[in-house]
Chain A
Amino acid sequence: MRKIALTATAVALFAGLPLAAQATPADDLKSFREHFIKMFPGVPLEEYKNGVYAINADARSSWEAIEEFPPYEDELERGGELFNTPFANGKTYASCFPNGGKGIRQNYPYFDSASGKVKTLEQEINECRTTNGEKPLGWNKGDIAAISAYMASTSNGKKLNVKVPNDPRALEAYNRGKQFFYAKRGQLNLSCANCHYDNAGRMVRADTLSPALGHLSHFPVYRLKWNGLGTAHRRYGGCNKQVRAKPFPAQSDEYRALEYFHTYMSNGISVNAPSSRK
């Protein structure tokens, strides 16, 4: 019964945004950006790649000190080694990606018209392994995060450029991600938007809430709390658990759709990965 009630709330909320439901992704992007530009006047669009540090000067100075000797340096280096080490069959990761896997992060996730699905970078890293006879890696941390972070780092400075092609299946995936972002969930009844859109910049206890704009520019992220790198889907799971909702599995349809919408909303902001966070 609770599940039904929650779904109903989500639907009702979404239906409460009739304009938004019909808006094109380009319209959504425009109003999403404008919301934050109004909320934090004087913060340039590009700054949002720094997450919460774009809007919190106090936290920023200690973060800048940490970034002088990046805690993710070893893992990033290991990611590069793994990326360049040939599989048992002699092929490399480079053979699976456009441009040898360099400078392509800004295009992910993308809608794959052959399969009709949203594809993430981590998904294709594992597909590359299995096509070449290797075992897939675990999704959230460890080697996959290191490889993904290395690949993303070769794209630093390139502006996110996720596309929603003119294909009803792509639009459907985008809209599912959008609905996920705005839907209230969990026992605490909170949406991603409640924390990272409506209340960005405010404090939940001692934590400043980061703006959703720019969220996906710097993943995988190194978190002090994790003591290592983690993917965006690892963070999604954590934010779902915080509101006492059951997290979805990493790389589930739900999280891939969410990442699709969420990254699209940051189009135009430079890749800046990895980065460190609390």
Chain B
Amino acid sequence: MRKTARLVTTASALATVLGALSLSPQLAIAADAQVVEEGKKIAFDRKKGNCLACHLVDDGDLPGNIGPPLVAMKARFPDKSVLRAQIWDSTKANPNSMMPPFGRHEILTEGEIDKVVEYIYTL
């Protein structure tokens, strides 16, 4: 688990550096509608992200209200890697967070988290 953490930290550090050079590999897929669509599926799936349990998200049915509505994500998170870090391990920012640490506890795979980030970033 710790190894994954290190890999991810390295990866997002790298992404930040690349981002600064406007060469972010994430940019290449940002516009990919298919990835966004898959990200939405993962976010809505009760067995995967289940984000609707706690957040108002997009056009999702019966959202919970434990977390803030997921809107204006680009304004809230100018740096996409900060958004990813929130989803990967919410307890970094708030140790008593109600939000499950999707990456740290391997609830979602790294690839699934990437897709969810791309989707959430369109909101």
Chain A residues proximal to chain B, CB less than 8 Å: 1-2, 5, 9, 12-13, 16, 187-190, 194-195, 198-199, 202-206
On whether the beta carbons of B95 and A194 are closer than 8 Å, the reply is no
On whether the beta carbons of B96 and A13 are closer than 8 Å, the reply is yes
Complex: A194 Cα to B91 Cα, angstroms: 13
- One of B21-29, B30-38, B98-106, B115-123 at the interface: B98-106
A-B contact count (CB 8 A): 48
On whether the beta carbons of A189 and B95 are closer than 8 Å, the reply is no
| 27 A-B contact pairs sorted by A residue (CB < 8 Å) | A1-B1, A2-B1, A2-B105, A5-B1, A9-B91, A16-B95, A187-B100, A187-B105, A188-B100, A188-B107, A189-B91, A189-B101, A189-B105, A190-B98, A190-B100, A194-B98, A195-B98, A199-B98, A202-B64, A202-B65, A202-B66, A203-B66, A204-B53, A204-B66, A205-B52, A205-B63, A206-B62
Binary CB contact string for chain B from 1 to 32 against chain A (1 if under 8 A, 0 otherwise): 11000000000000000000000000000000
In terms of DSSP, what is the predominant structure of the interface of chain A? mixed
| Residues of chain B from 80 to 103 with CB closer than 8 A to chain A in the complex | 91, 95-96, 98, 100-101
Complex: A254 Cα to B66 Cα, angstroms: 28
Q: How far is the CB of A241 from chain B (nearest CB, A)?
A: 14
For chain B, the count of residues having a C-beta within 8 Å of the partner chain is 19
Name the 7 nearest CB pairs between A and B, nearest first. Answer: A188-B100, A203-B64, A206-B62, A204-B64, A202-B66, A194-B98, A205-B53
Complex: A272 Cα to B44 Cα, angstroms: 38
Complex: A5 Cα to B105 Cα, angstroms: 10
Interface residue B54 (Cβ < 8 Å from any Cβ of A): yes
Complex: A5 Cα to B104 Cα, angstroms: 10
| Residues of chain B from 50 to 64 with CB closer than 8 A to chain A in the complex | 52-54, 62-64
Residues of the B chain whose Cβ atoms lie less than 8 Å from the Cβ of A187: 100, 105-107
Given contacts A189-B105, A190-B100, 7 further A-B contacts (CB under 8 A): A16-B95, A190-B98, A195-B98, A204-B53, A204-B64, A205-B53, A205-B64
A204-B96 contact in complex given A5-B1, A189-B105, A199-B66, C-beta closer than 8 Å: no
Residues of the A chain whose Cβ atoms lie less than 8 Å from the Cβ of B52: 205
Residues of the A chain whose Cβ atoms lie less than 8 Å from the Cβ of B106: 187
Q: How far is the CB of B42 from chain A (nearest CB, A)?
A: 16
Kindly identify which residue among B91, B96, B101, B107 contacts A198, using a CB–CB cutoff of 8 Å. B96
Complex: A206 Cα to B64 Cα, angstroms: 6
Complex: A2 Cα to B96 Cα, angstroms: 18
Q: How far is the CB of B11 from chain A (nearest CB, A)?
A: 21
Residues of the B chain whose Cβ atoms lie less than 8 Å from the Cβ of A203: 63-66
Question: B46's closest neighbor in chain A, by CB?
Answer: A205
Complex: A149 Cα to B105 Cα, angstroms: 39
Residues of the A chain whose Cβ atoms lie less than 8 Å from the Cβ of B96: 13, 194, 198
Residues of the A chain whose Cβ atoms lie less than 8 Å from the Cβ of B65: 202-203
Residues of the B chain whose Cβ atoms lie less than 8 Å from the Cβ of A199: 66, 98
Complex: A188 Cα to B50 Cα, angstroms: 11
Q: How far is the CB of B103 from chain A (nearest CB, A)?
A: 12
